[in-house]
Structure 1
Amino acid sequence: MIYGKYFSNFLVKQNFSSSKLYLTNLTRNSSMTTKSVELNSFSRRKKSNTDIGWILLVLPISAFGLGTWQVKRKIWKENLIEELKSKTKLPALDFPENEKELTNLEYRRIKVVGKFDHSKELYLGPRSCLIDGGAENSNGLFSGSGSTNSGYYVITPFKLSDRPYSILVNRGWVSMKNKNPASRVSGQVAGEIELEGVVRLTESRPQFVTKNVADSRFWAYRDLEAMSKLVDCEPIMIDAVAESSVPGGPIGGQTNISLRNEHVSYIITW
């Protein structure tokens, strides 16, 4: 009986010691887990703050770089526009022996001799009338000749006297009501003439502009291949200079020297 009592007390003490040890280990493990969670949370916050810091550093540097690039692009484009304008004021060249050279002469003046074929007129537009390369104001600077803000460029085949073919000449701008040749008979120049014009190349379809209709007399943009095929000409075009204008005829000098220039707004944005 005495041994049984001692053995029973021993088991109780052992169980108590084991429970105490288990609770101690559990508490220690719980404490370590809490510390681990806290360390991981701190690490994530530190990484997040570091990422935000990098973003805040990179954004202004990138914006400054883009703004500087836009300034350079703006200056480049303005210089290019001035260069093109200066080309149109250089002395006129003779029509080159090899017409393929014209691809390198856009915006240069050339001299041609020949006759218009008014029976094959084409119309490019609608367009505003240009004065010195800019659109006419809303009051109509040519109100005396029936000018308004909207009209067409008259594109007429021109048979060269010294070549076996014709080219296209943009004679200039007419208002909507003068689009019909019958309304401007006095301006339909007859006979052989000498003419100066600015070389123009074909253009791609501008964004949001309707497609050209190949067999139509009316064109939305300058497609020299298709236009010349319709009236049996070479795909060569010149814009008649302002000095070519005649009373009652189209207003010459309709060479629009402008490039899309939105760099100022981009600079402000960046």
Structure 2
Amino acid sequence: MVSLTSLLTYSRRLLPTLKTQNHAFYTKRSFFLPGPFKRVDGRFLGFGRQSSSTAAKAAEKGEDSFLKWFLLLIPATTFGLGTWQVKRRQWKLKLIDDLTRLTTAEPIPLPLDPYEVNNLEYRRVKVRGRYDHSQELYIMPRSPVDPEREAREAGRLSSSAETGANVITPFHCTDLGITILVNRGFVPRKKIRPETRMKGQVEDEVELVGVVRLTENRKPFVPNNDVERNRWHYRDLEAMAQVTGAVPIFIDADYGSTIPGGPIGGQTRVTLRNEHMQYIITWYGLCAATSYMWYAKFIKKI
């Protein structure tokens, strides 16, 4: 009982102290976190909400500014690609002109030095000698060179051209005393075997004009040459020379060397794909479209 009385007495003394401390706590709280205050027009304005709204607007403005300049990279990049294609087109046109000039120039005698020949690719040369038909090689599959048809069918997945092979025949140059390799031209698939075109197997000494070609590297997805079956898929001069005993010099006989009943000459592909104008139109068109979209979103609305 005495203890209970003492506890009640202590509580009465402690209560005013707690009220004083509690009042001080709320005073401090109201000082650091002020509530809404009244404006002149009578409306209440919350300080905390105003600060949050201002920060959100600032963040949003920063994001819009970043997005604005980031999206400007799209028209800038497409403009750069279009300009690069203009330069590529000029380079391609010059290359085509150079090849056309080389393949239409007056033929020169074939040099004896193979190293000198390596600097004459696509140059027209003239030789005189005899074919060795017993060691024919066949590069296949091939289709006859037709620049007009190839231009019409550019971009198609299939071609309407007849497939066959190019006949590569050792040619002994009587004036030079060496044997070279000559691409006599195209034959359809049904005339690949020599016995099917005996009229074209000339035995006499002939003079022909051809275009110097160098060795090729195997391109991706092109099969390896099958030496045992005599099926060649690309020009490997070292391997062809080793099989036939010729020196690694290769020329494409021109169309004038064609013998009735034999391979069709003139199978040098000098036409290069020139689609740069389409790329120029595409890139500059994208640049114009994206530039207008950027202007309409970020400039016009201002």
* Change beyond 3 A, Cα 1:225–1:44: farther
Alignment match, 2:75:
60
**Unaligned residue ranges in structure 1 (runs of 5+):** 139-147
How high is the TM-score relative to the length of structure 2? 0.75
Asked if 1:213 corresponds to 2:219, the answer is no
The aligned counterpart of 1:99 is 114
TM-score, normalized by length of structure 1?
A: 0.83
Q: What residue is the counterpart of 1:27 in the other structure?
A: 33
Bigger mean CA offset, 229-238 vs 242-251: 229-238
1:197 corresponds to = 210
1:124 aligns with 2:124: no
Relative distance call for 1:75 and 1:137 in structure 2 (3 A) is: closer
- The amino acid across from 1:72 in the alignment is K
Cα distance in structure 2, aligned partners of 1:224 and 1:44: 68
2:86 aligns with 71
2:93 is the counterpart of 1:87: no
Aligned sequence identity (%): 44
Supply the distance in 2 between the matched residues of 1:34 and 1:211 (Cα, whole angstroms).
75
SS of aligned partner of 1:110: strand
1:183 and 2:196 aligned: yes
Give unpaired runs (5+ residues) of structure 2.
1-9, 36-45, 153-160, 284-302
Root-mean-square deviation (CA, aligned residues, Å) is 2.9
- Secondary structure at 1:221's aligned position in 2? coil
**SS at 1:257 equivalent:** coil
**Partner amino acid for 1:15?**
Q
CA drift of 1:114 comes to: 1.3
Residues in 2 aligned to 1:227 and 1:162: alpha-carbon distance in whole angstroms: 22
Task: Pick from 166, 177, 185 the counterpart of residue 179 of structure 2.
Answer: 166
Q: Write out per-residue CA displacement over residues 141-175 of structure 1, whole angstroms, 9 at most, x where no aligned residue.
A: xxxxxxx6111111000112133431110001111
Q: Distance in 2 between matches of 1:207 and 1:164?
A: 37
What aligned pairs does 1:130-141 form with structure 2 within 5 A after superposition? Answer: 130-131=145-146, 133=147, 135=149
Report the Cα distance in structure 2 between the residues aligned to 1:44 and 1:211, rounded to whole angstroms. Answer: 62
Secondary structure at the aligned position of 2:198 is classed as helix
- Structure 1 residue 12: deviation in Å? 5.8
| DSSP-derived class of the 2:217 partner | coil
- Which secondary structure state, in structure 1, belongs to the residue aligned with residue 72 of structure 2? helix
